[in-house]
């Protein structure tokens, strides 16, 4: 049965027997675990978004047809993916806050545009409690999480540098000038 008290307690007090389940509000995430799980969530969401965009909007590479608009069911699927991603991201953030011995309610600050930058810096740069804190024992970070986190830490800045380079080197957009009657000239050359 739904109870406001049990729902609120999920955000503030941990259950130690569920601390190693990543999709549970209780427990703690160290920095590397937080980075690894957030990166996995981001990559899987991007892949699903690309798939849904091509599938739902009937986009075919090389086709000149205009994309179709999604049906109500397809739009609902995109909305469900968005809600799932947001919910999961909040779970990871709450667990990271628990590692810093902070209440999960601070995760609401992610919804405030400028403050979210400072919250991300806090989550990524500050050490968690090395000993047991109000939210349980520290969680040991598995090796695979460390590898994914370190690859992310290396690859993301390289990707940003590459994108800035490509944007800097690409020619500026030229306005398309169409002359009256040019359509008939183009059709005569075909």
Is the residue at 2 inside a domain? no
Task: Produce one character per residue of 131-150: b if its CB has 16 or more CB atoms within 10 Å, e if not.
Answer: eebebbebbebeeebeebbe
Contact 95, 36 (CB under 8 A): no
Is the residue at 128 inside a domain? yes
Give the total number of structural domains in the chain: 1
Contact 39, 47 (CB under 8 A): no
The pLDDT score that the predictor gives to residue 112 is 93
Is the residue at 8 inside a domain? no
Is the residue at 69 inside a domain? yes
10-residue stretch averages of pLDDT, the chain, 190 residues long: 50 49 82 93 90 71 59 81 93 93 91 93 91 87 92 92 87 66 47
Which of 48, 140, 127, 37 minimizes the C-alpha distance to 91?
A: 37
Is the residue at 124 inside a domain? yes
Is the residue at 74 inside a domain? yes
Is the residue at 169 inside a domain? yes
Contacts of 122 (CB under 8 A, 6+ apart): 100
Is the residue at 1 inside a domain? no
The pLDDT score that the predictor gives to residue 73 is 77
The pLDDT score that the predictor gives to residue 77 is 82
The pLDDT score that the predictor gives to residue 76 is 85
Look-up of token digits 């986009």: 59
Which range of residues forms the domain containing residue 79? 14-189
């Amino acid at each position: 049965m739904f109870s406001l008290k049990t729902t609120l307690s999920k955000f503030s007090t941990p259950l130690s027997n569920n601390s190693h389940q990543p999709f549970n509000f209780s427990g703690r995430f160290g920095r590397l675990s937080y980075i690894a799980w957030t990166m996995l969530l981001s990559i899987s969401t991007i892949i699903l978004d690309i798939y849904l965009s091509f599938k739902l909007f009937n986009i075919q590479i090389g086709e000149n047809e205009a994309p179709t608009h999604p049906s109500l069911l397809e739009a609902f699927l995109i909305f469900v993916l968005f809600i799932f991603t947001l919910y999961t991201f909040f779970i990871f953030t709450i667990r990271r806050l628990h590692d810093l011995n902070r209440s999960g309610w601070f995760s609401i600050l992610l919804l405030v545009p400028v403050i979210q930058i400072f919250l991300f810096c806090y989550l990524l740069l500050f050490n968690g409690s090395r000993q047991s804190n109000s939210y349980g024992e520290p969680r040991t970070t598995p090796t695979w999480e460390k590898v994914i986190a370190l690859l992310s830490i290396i690859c993301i800045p390289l990707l940003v540098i590459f994108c800035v380079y490509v944007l800097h080197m690409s020619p500026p957009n030229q306005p398309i000038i169409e002359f009256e009657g040019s359509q008939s000239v183009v059709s005569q050359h075909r």
